Structure 1
Amino acid sequence: MTELISALALAIVIEGLLYAAFPEQMKRMLASVQALPASTIRAVALTCAAVGLVLLWFIRG
């Protein structure tokens, strides 16, 4: 459980650094994501989750 919380905290740190370093680009990216259909966002999110799971499987296996 500690590893999960640490991983989530690291994701928050990385996201915060991106917003701090590139605020205008992040605003533009969020606006472009908002224009996408929900099905596209869902497909990309599920693909990212699957790639993440495969990477974890290789790293932890």
Structure 2
Amino acid sequence: MNSTIWLALGLVLVLEGLGPMLFPQAWRKMIRAMTQLPDPTLRRFGGALVVAGCVIYYMLRSRTGG
């Protein structure tokens, strides 16, 4: 894997870790609320995140000429 993928993975881990590190109670409450959502809603949310990630990847990839 090239360094760009490792950079992206590192940024994802930093962003994912900020919630529980800075706001543990709010993060726990959000996770608890998400467990109550129906499966179709979670699937739509997950799908939207995947599409957003692919769009960002495509935009960065086309901008850097890779």
* Structure 2: 5+ residue stretches without partners: none
Q: How does 1:2-13 map to 2 (within 5 A)?
A: 2-13=3-14
Stretches of 4+ aligned residues off by more than 6 angstroms: none
Kindly state the Cα deviation for residue 14 of structure 1 after the two structures are TM-superposed: 1.7
Aligned residues, how many? 61
Percent of aligned pairs with the same residue? 30
TM score, norm. by length of structure 2: 0.78
TM-align CA RMSD:
1.3
CA distances 1:42-61 after superposition (whole Å, capped 9, x unpaired): 11111111111112111210
Q: Which residue identity does 1:54 align to in structure 2?
A: V
Q: Decide which structure has the larger Cα Rg and report it.
A: 2
CA offsets 1:2-27 (integer angstroms, 9 cap, x no match)? 33233222211221122111101101
TM-score (norm 1): 0.83
Q: Mind listing any 5+ residue stretches in structure 1 that lack a counterpart? A: none
